[in-house]
Structure 1
Amino acid sequence: MQQDNLSIPFQLPLTGIGGAGMFVSPGQWRHGDRVIDDYVVMFVRTGVLHMQEDGREFDVRPNETLLLAPGRKHGGVSHDAQSLSYFWMHFHLDNSDCSEGLSLLNIPQHATIPRPERLEALFRLLIGDQLRKTTSELSRKLLACCILSEVAQDAAVHVENDDSKVVANQACAFIHTRFTEPISASDVAAAVSCNPKYLARVFREVYHETMTQYIQNLRIEHAQHLLLQTNMTVNEIALACGFMHVTYFIKIFRESTAMTPNAYRRNYGLLLVTTY
């Protein structure tokens, strides 16, 4: 039987990916000074990265990103501790003016990532595909675009600051400190002293999902992080992420990722780590 394939014409702004990986400091390390032709995005997971670009200094802390531009001199400001680790990606952009009528990503140079486990998962997917060499260049460019989109969320979430957005951001901050506990949407509303129905509406307007969905997604993203960064069992991870029953955790995890927790650990544990 003849298959009806779907061909989708579209153009990505990325013209190439110069590589991606994870750096782990060997201790008393300082980033060298250089001028390169790529954009570089760095995503710190542990420690503090001390960098400068054309004399402007940045202290990039855990769950923060730094975007470095081509043609500018960048390098380390001081030696970093052995606890420093960060993901990195080099990429090239098509600088031709083709933005008319298109949505633009506004990527802050120095950003705080509201959902770091999600960004780490994207980096791991890109690095794994790069090492296996089993996916197309287009697939890797799409993942790179997803990474940049995730970094841009920091700017998008904080663009508006009217009262409703402030309440939604307060609820989000509370959720991030308590999502591993058995909390509900009504608990969040009580914590920020807000009418539950009003909070549910403004939260969905700002974050484009319900509080229950947001909490569940945070738990799954945290579980993904624990699966790749620790030797904890699936039972231990389920409890650490706020799931009272491991069978329900596996069900939700599979619905979210299309694989079991153990399969996720096998498939995405591959990582390019550098210490220089």
Structure 2
Amino acid sequence: MLALKFASPIVAQNGGYFISRGVGRHPRRVIDSYELIYVDKGSLALREQDEDFVLGAGETLLLQPGQLHEGITDYDPALRFYWLHFELAPTTAPESGSFVVRRRTAVTEPERFVALLRLFLGEQEDGAPPETLGLLVLLMLQRLSRHQEKTGIAERGMALAYRARQQIGIRFGDELGASSLAELLRCNADYLGRVFRQAFGVTITEAIHRQRITAAERMLLRNDSSIAVIAQRCGFKDSAYMRRLFIRKVGMTPAVYRKLYCKEHVNFE
């Protein structure tokens, strides 16, 4: 029998998956552990000390222990996010074994990162010890560190990418595309497309489609407007085009989605 003994540099406390119901906001508090947040859908606005963060889908934020943090706005009705609390264990590992994780990171491979988060929650439910769960957290942090190394975007390029995404969130209902967005931001369209993909792992066109589909999901559940009207409000050229994209991204037609979830849609605080 082979006996292995090792110590994880991270000890996980707990984790979960938050589903908003559109009321309240993140509590004002100080915690004695690190908290890693990954936004799965919607947006989350937080303040830590004097710094504000507005996170979109596919972004992480690492909150520090001993720092006051709180919600800036009420929860987005579409918001869903994963959260993990962990501590750093005393270690004698050499400094060369360390790595850098930014406070805020745009995940370039969200499917793989979400798979790790789900594995963490599954292992937690099965009663895995904190040290074992800590290895999964360590793997997530290392992956975030590698994402940052791969992007290598200058601060100016990163700022431009975030401005572009902000405009997509505001103007998705308009006639918007990569060229018009570049014109709005007064920059080269090819450069904008390149830094945007490096920052968020998707093209500008894909980001616009995602924003429009997210808005359509919301409208289908919240009002009785026809699908054609919703398509127009969300920026689609016609309802048939929205229907094709909706099936591709959600797995069903808008009509079926509304029928399934309009009366049974349940969110949790």
- One-letter identity of the residue aligned with 2:146: Q
* Matching residue of 1:141: 134
* Corresponding residue SS for 1:42: strand
1:148-187 equivalent positions in 2, closer than 5 A: 148-159=141-152, 173=197, 176-177=202-203
Q: Structure 2 counterpart of 1:148, which letter?
A: L
Match of 1:25 among 20, 28, 46: 20
Give SS of 1:87's match: strand
Work out whether 1:110 is the aligned partner of 2:104: yes
Q: TM-score, normalised by structure 2?
A: 0.56
Give, as a single letter, the amino acid of the residue that structure 2 aligns with 1:54. Answer: Q
Q: 3-state SS of the aligned residue for 2:67?
A: coil
1:34 aligned residue (29, 35, 50): 29
Cα distance in 2 for residues equivalent to 1:121 and 1:154: 16
Cα distance change on mapping 1:140 and 1:27 into 2, 3 Å: same
Q: Which amino acid aligns with 1:58?
A: F
Q: AA paired with 2:13?
A: G
Q: TM-score, normalised by structure 1?
A: 0.55
Tell me which of 16, 39, 46 is aligned to 1:44: 39
* Long gaps (5+) in structure 1: 162-166, 181-228, 233-272
Whole-angstrom CA distance in 1 between matches of 2:93 and 2:13: 23
For residues 76 and 49 of structure 1, what CA distance do their matches in structure 2 show?
A: 8
Contiguous gaps of at least 5 residues in structure 2 = 155-190, 207-248, 253-265
- How many residue pairs end up in the alignment? 175
Please list, as runs of the form range in 1=range in 2, the aligned pairs for 1:87-102 lying within 5 A after superposition: 87-94=82-89, 96=90, 98-102=92-96
Is the aligned partner of 1:80 residue 2:75?
yes
Tell me the alpha carbon deviations over residues 200-226 of structure 1, each in whole angstroms, 9 at most, x when there is no partner.
xxxxxxxxxxxxxxxxxxxxxxxxxxx
CA distance in 2, matches of 1:89, 1:10: 22
**Structure 2 contact 13–130 (Cα < 8 Å) conserved:** no
1:138-192 CA distance string (max 9 Å, x none): 431211111222222232213487xxxxx9x9599498559x9xxxxxxxxxxxx
| Identity among equivalent pairs (%) | 27
The answer to whether the 8 A contact 1:41-1:65 is kept is yes
d(CA) in 2 for partners of 1:32, 1:73: 10
Q: Summarize the alignment of residues 207-246 of structure 1 with structure 2, pairs less than 5 Å apart.
A: none
Give CA deviations for 1:21-71 in whole Å, capped at 9, x if unaligned. Answer: 110111033101000101000000111100000021000111000000000
| 1:155 partner amino acid | Q
C-alpha distance in structure 2 between counterparts of 1:101 and 1:41, whole Å:
23
1:22·1:274 contact (CA, 8 Å) conserved in 2? no
Task: Write out per-residue CA displacement over residues 217-274 of structure 1, whole angstroms, 9 at most, x where no aligned residue.
Answer: xxxxxxxxxxxx9778xxxxxxxxxxxxxxxxxxxxxxxxxxxxxxxxxxxxxxxx98
1:36–1:136 Cα change, 3 Å:
closer
User: Residue 41 of structure 1 aligns to a residue in which SS?
Assistant: strand
Q: Which SS does the other structure have where 2:45 is aligned?
A: strand
Alpha carbons of structure 1 residues 21 and 152: separation in structure 2 relative to 1, 3 Å: same
| Selected match of 2:8 from 2, 12, 20 | 12
Partner SS state of residue 81, structure 1: coil
Is 1:60 matched with 2:77?
no
Rounded Cα–Cα distance in structure 2 between residues aligned with 1:115 and 1:148 = 13
Match of 1:119 among 103, 113, 116: 113
Contact 2:9 2:91 in 1 (8 A): no
